[in-house]
Amino acid sequence: MSGYDFGDARFDLSQERDREVLQFVLSQALYGEATGVFCGRSLYNAATLEAAQFYVRQARQELNHLTLFADIFRELGLQPTPAHWVIRVLAAHNDYYPLKVLMEHALGEGMVLDIFRDVLLQTLPDDDPRVPGIKKKLRVICREEEEHVAWGEKETRRILAERPGLKRAFYGLLELQLFLVPYAVRGLKQQAPDHPVMQRLDGFVDFVKQRVWEQGQALGFVPADRPSPSARALAVTSGLGLLARSQLARSRSKLDKRYLEELGFR
Ligand SMILES: [Fe+2]
Ligand SMILES: [Fe+2]
């Protein structure tokens, strides 16, 4: 998969300004991984053995990512800071399965992967002796995040085939996420506007938006052409409605009702 090209833009780990930018980026990653561990909660309403196996595996992987990022902070001598509000909003847990697989796995972890793979793996300087070890950790994390995105896409496709009526709300939520992304980036750019990596940030954000748009089209809920503003507003309203209803959805156990079929006894 080819991502955004940062050219020869690199961070300089001896510069305070560069270290502050990395501290911000890594702090968002650390928070995201901490919330990733909550996926263990999805075991309670996993409907199939396959889903249960996935969530056990994911919880173990996210817990590992959390400690790997903590190691990266220590190796770089950086102190984590609280997460940005946009990251808190985007990383909020949702018990409603159709939204969980779309927003957390397919879209959320998809964008996480863009940042780990395209930003961190490209812009950390290889000539720093700490970086090769850090990149090795990041590559392990990226490989596992790819699995999480693939699960989200597979489940989103299955759910939309069963309930095509969800397409409009899903599309509205994608618009909403794309609308929020620049807010998370804005403060970052202000920290070091003339830094070579920051100068490519707008290009990176445009690349991510385009990639997410095409991802939504491939999943079958984003129209071929961007709808009119009023149609978009309707879709966003429908997405927000689904999000509001999902907050009231009670998480229900499933495997205790289905285990016999799942195990092939009936
Ligand atoms: Fe992770
Ligand atoms: Fe993940």
The whole-number pLDDT of residue 1 equals 54
Q: What is the rounded distance in angstroms from the CA atom of residue 178 to the CA atom of residue 172?
A: 10
Q: Which bin fits 4, alpha (ψ -120 to 50), beta or left (φ > 0)?
A: beta
| Cα-to-centroid distance, 47 and ligand 1 (Å) | 23
CB half-sphere exposure, 204, CA atoms < 13 A: 26
pLDDT tens-place string over residues 145-178 = 999 999 999 999 999 999 999 999 999 999 999 9
- How large is the angle between the packed helices 131-162 and 167-191, nearest 10 degrees? 160
The whole-number pLDDT of residue 22 equals 96
Is residue 250 predicted with pLDDT exceeding 80? no
| Cα-to-centroid distance, 213 and ligand 1 (Å) | 22
| Cα-to-centroid distance, 145 and ligand 2 (Å) | 4
Cβ 236 vs Cβ 172: under 8 Å: yes
* Residues having C-beta closer than 5 Å to ion ligand 2: 36, 109, 145, 148
The whole-number pLDDT of residue 2 equals 72
The whole-number pLDDT of residue 253 equals 86
* Residues having C-beta closer than 5 Å to ion ligand 1: 33, 36, 62, 65
Q: What is the rounded distance in angstroms from the CA atom of residue 78 to the CA atom of residue 35?
A: 21
The owner of tokens 């863009």 is 114
Q: Which bin fits 77, alpha (ψ -120 to 50), beta or left (φ > 0)?
A: left
The whole-number pLDDT of residue 138 equals 98
Least confident of 29-33, 64-68, 94-98, 202-206: 94-98
Picking from 7, 164, 187, the residue whose alpha carbon sits closest to that of residue 84 is: 187
Picking from 106, 116, 171, 175, the residue whose alpha carbon sits closest to that of residue 142 is: 116
Residue 123, token pair as written in the block: 């812009």
The whole-number pLDDT of residue 60 equals 95
Which ligand is located closest to the Cα atom of residue 30?
1
pTM (whole model) above 0.85: yes
Is residue 266 predicted with pLDDT exceeding 80? no
pLDDT tens-place string over residues 85-113 = 888 888 887 888 999 999 999 999 999 99
